[in-house]
Amino acid sequence: MAPTELHETARAIVAGHKGILAADESTGTIKKRLDSIDVESTEENRRFYRQLLFAAPGIEDSIGGVILYDETIRQSADDGTSLAEVLASKGVIPGIKVDTGAHDHAGYQGEKVTEGLDGLRARLDAYRDLGARFAKWRAVITIGDGIPTDGNIRANAHALSRYAALCQDAGIVPIVEPEVLMDADNTLEECWEVTTRTLHETFAALYEDGLDLQGLLLKPNMVISGKGCAEQASADQIARATVDCFLGVVPAAVPGIVFLSGGQSEVQATENLNAINRIGGPWTLSYSYGRALQASALEAWGGDPANAEAAQSVFVHRARMNSRAAAGEWSAELEQPVPA
């Protein structure tokens, strides 16, 4: 794939205020989601639920790409069409999660490093044959007493860059995801400082390895107060801090920044994205949400096939709200209940 094709794919994913559905939950994570609605996590239930989302009428108006899990990219819809092809037939670009998870970083107490580089070249070739045109690798940066350390940030940045280089060699657009977790009691200012350090180190590694910045997407956290912080920042404060942080460290060559929701509620993630787009920057500012796109739809489905259409309506509404936010045109008045 020529570099211009990587550029075109990266831009297409976020074109027209579209974003990404992160449907790449591991088998363990999707089990937790299904447990929450008292549905057994069988392969068939997982397949049916993902099919419900991917086949939702109108998904293509707000969703430009979907990140799949290894199991999902090998599954088919009821009519035998692969789930990747179900998406592609709507003009939605299929992607794939390729890391094998964050594990304890040896020698770094309380910190994680993401694994999965071994055999990645061959896996990328296989995923491309299965229809994937972009990939995702998530690094996890933890805020705590004396952490993150520079060594941990460097190790994760190096792994992200090695992964991204292998993706581009395989003709696959890499999503680079360095996530500063929002689970601690840190202030907005502390998140700003750690996010700046993390992104600076990440782009230093990408430059060093010769990555084509126009052929990748960045999936970062917003600059936000930790969940345990007594003083929670407003949407406007989050937006200003996020844009200011990114203007200092994210090159304008990056075609799109697709924010992760990081445990925010559905409406909070939409509101914050909208505030960020009200300010704007040199990049397309969009979304790559998992729970913040799926939570209400999962509840509406409840494991009952008779509820599939209602769940699809709820999901499409949520996607449309985020598309409006990616245009800076969302308002709370648009959050009307979707008829069952």
Q: Tell me: the pLDDT tens digits for 140-155? A: 999 999 999 999 999 9
Q: Give the CA distances from residue 149 to residues 145, 177, 212, 238, in Å, rounded to whole numbers and listed in that order.
A: 10, 18, 28, 24
Catalytic residue among 18, 25, 112, 177: 177
| Alpha-carbon gap, residue 98 to 130, rounded angstroms | 13
- Which residue, 274, 160, 260, is CA-closest to 208? 160
Helices (H), 55-115: 70-73, 83-88
Mean pLDDT of residues grouped by 10 in the chain (340 residues)? 84 98 95 95 96 97 98 97 98 98 97 98 98 98 97 98 98 98 95 98 98 98 96 97 98 98 95 98 98 96 96 97 98 73
How far apart (Å, rounded) are the C-alpha atoms in residues 196 and 334? 34
User: Does the active-site annotation cover 333?
Assistant: no
Give the span between the Cα atoms of 226 and 232, in whole angstroms: 8
Residues paired with residue 259 on neighbouring β-strands, in sequence order? 287
Helices (H), 61-149: 70-73, 83-88, 120-129
124: helix, strand or coil: helix
Q: Rg of the chain over CA atoms, in angstroms?
A: 19
Tokens of 161: 């860059």
Q: What single letter denotes the amino acid at residue 184?
A: A
CB of 181 closer than 8 Å to CB of 228? no
Three-class SS string for 37-50?
A: CCCCCCHHHHHHHH
Residue 219: active-site member: yes
Which listed residue (18, 112, 136, 219) is catalytic?
A: 219
pLDDT of the residue at 340: 47
Residue ranges per domain, the chain?
A: 3-326
Task: List Cα–Cα distances, 25 to 16, 22, 70, in angstroms.
Answer: 26, 8, 10
- pLDDT tens, 304-313? 999 999 999 9
Average pLDDT, the chain: 96
Overall CATH class of domain 3-326: alpha beta
Beta strands in 9-101 (DSSP E): 19-22, 63-68, 93-97
Q: Residue 147's beta-bridge partner residues?
A: 144
